[in-house]
Amino acid sequence: MTDVETEGSERVAREDVTISMPRWAIIGIFLMLLVGGLAYARDFLMPVVLALLLQLVFSPVRRQLERWGLPSALAAILIVGTLVTGGAAGVASLAVPASGWVDRAPEIGLELREKFEEIRGVTEGVEEAAQQVDEITESEEEPNVQRVKVEEEGNALAIAMSLPAVLAQVVFTLILLFFLLSSGDMFYEKIVYVLPSFRDKRRAIRIAYDIERKLSRYLSTIALINAGLGVSVGLVLWWLGMPSPALFAVLAFLLNFIPYVGSLLGVGAAVIVAIVTLDTLNQALAVGAVYFVLTSIEGQIVTPYFVGRSLRLNTVVVFLSVTLFAWLWSVVGMLVATPLLVAVRTFCEHVPGLQNLGHFLSARGAESEVSETSDS
């Protein structure tokens, strides 16, 4: 090889390095801006994303109603009305027991502290420390006590002030869902119109319908499984003598939509209430153990069997996604994290350039289905 050819190859290698480095830098900057934008616009994006996911889930239902002769607007009214009626009935039936537990929150905290003091067997030391704290607080000025009370009232006031914003987001989500459903397949028609080739049109419609089908299948299956788990938890806690078993049944149903984290929250809540209400610590631990066994059976046996391999996701990616969206969008983020992953993975299945990303998002053993879908 001549010197000219050697210099030319070295120059090409340097150019490749200089081209690849800015590309990765641009990708990194884009990801940081994306995360910052999601956090900054959370109050707007949360109801929009939730409405879009619900529209994808209920579009097959809307099409079935249209086949039965109902217009799109009437089908949308029926779907949204059913959601509102079901949600209102659930909130109304659980408002009384839930409000009772909320009112007892300070009392529960004191009872928990007393229980833990008995368990640790250091009651005398704690009482001496409490007396010392009382002596110190009595020697302080009176405004300090008033300041603590004002802060507690301020926290309660902040919670009360946040309720109108939450209700506004719920109303915005329902209104947007109504418009999306009543528009029918208008957006799909627009996509078909703007895409240049017939192949691109067919792929776009196939992707959209596949996302709808898999999201509907995933969420409907998970909802049925969670309903069975909620009934099981409610019956077992009723048998163990827990108060408000219906409330824990609904709590188990809702929390189980959050992978991994939801079951732990449910077990923790059940154990805390059991420690306060039941007689012995062994009974409280039995409640937590039974709750944990039920969620483990659901997560390790029931859900993998009924969901199917084509909808299973990488567990590490799911956990990271749930924690990331919990940091970004709080509870709503934890609820939409997994459906978003299902939609992204389905999209990657149909795009050859994103096939590797689809492999990464899928669970072990599901890579072949991603490749077959991409090839088709």
Cβ atoms of 335 and 258 within 8 Å: the answer is: yes
Whether residue 2 has pLDDT greater than 80: no
Residue-wise pLDDT tens digits, 21-38: 567 778 778 888 888 888
CA distance 325 to 76: 29
Helix (H) or strand (E) holding 21: helix 3-40
Q: What is the pLDDT of residue 306?
A: 80
Coil vs helix vs strand at 122: coil
- Residue 152 binned pLDDT confidence (cut-offs 50, 70, 90): very low
Lowest mean pLDDT of 9-23, 57-71, 77-91, name the range.
9-23
Q: What percent of the chain has pLDDT over 70?
A: 71
Average pLDDT over residues 303-320: 78
CA distance 114 to 124: 12
Average pLDDT over residues 224-234: 91
Backbone φ and ψ for 313, nearest 5 degrees, come out as: -120, 160
Q: What is the pLDDT of residue 149?
A: 43
How many CB atoms neighbour CB 234 within 10 A?
21
Three-state secondary structure of 134-156: HHHHHHCCCHHHHHHHHHHHHHH
Lowest mean pLDDT of 26-35, 101-110, 169-178, 341-350, name the range.
101-110
CA distance 301 to 245: 24
DSSP 8-state symbol, 279: S
Residue for token digits 């509102």? 84
CA distance 347 to 367: 14
Backbone φ and ψ for 141, nearest 5 degrees, come out as: -75, 155
| Ranges of each domain in the chain | 1-40, 47-95+123-184
CA distance 38 to 42: 6
| Buried b or exposed e, range 311-333, using 16+ CB within 10 angstroms | bbbbeebbeebbeebbebbeebb
Whether residue 91 has pLDDT greater than 90: no
What is the maximum alpha-carbon separation in the chain?
A: 92
Measured between alpha carbons, how far is residue 348 from residues 208, 288, 353 in Å?
A: 12, 40, 8
Q: What is the CA radius of gyration of the chain?
A: 27
Whether residue 78 has pLDDT greater than 90: yes
Residue for token digits 């990488």? 314
CA distance 58 to 363: 26
How many CB atoms neighbour CB 55 within 10 A?
22
Average pLDDT over residues 159-169: 70
Question: Rounded to an integer, what is the distance from CA 39 to the centroid of its chain?
Answer: 16
Whether residue 253 has pLDDT greater than 70: yes
Cα dihedral 193/354/25/11 (nearest 10): -100
Average pLDDT over residues 100-104: 59
Q: What is the pLDDT of residue 150?
A: 42
Whether residue 107 has pLDDT greater than 70: no
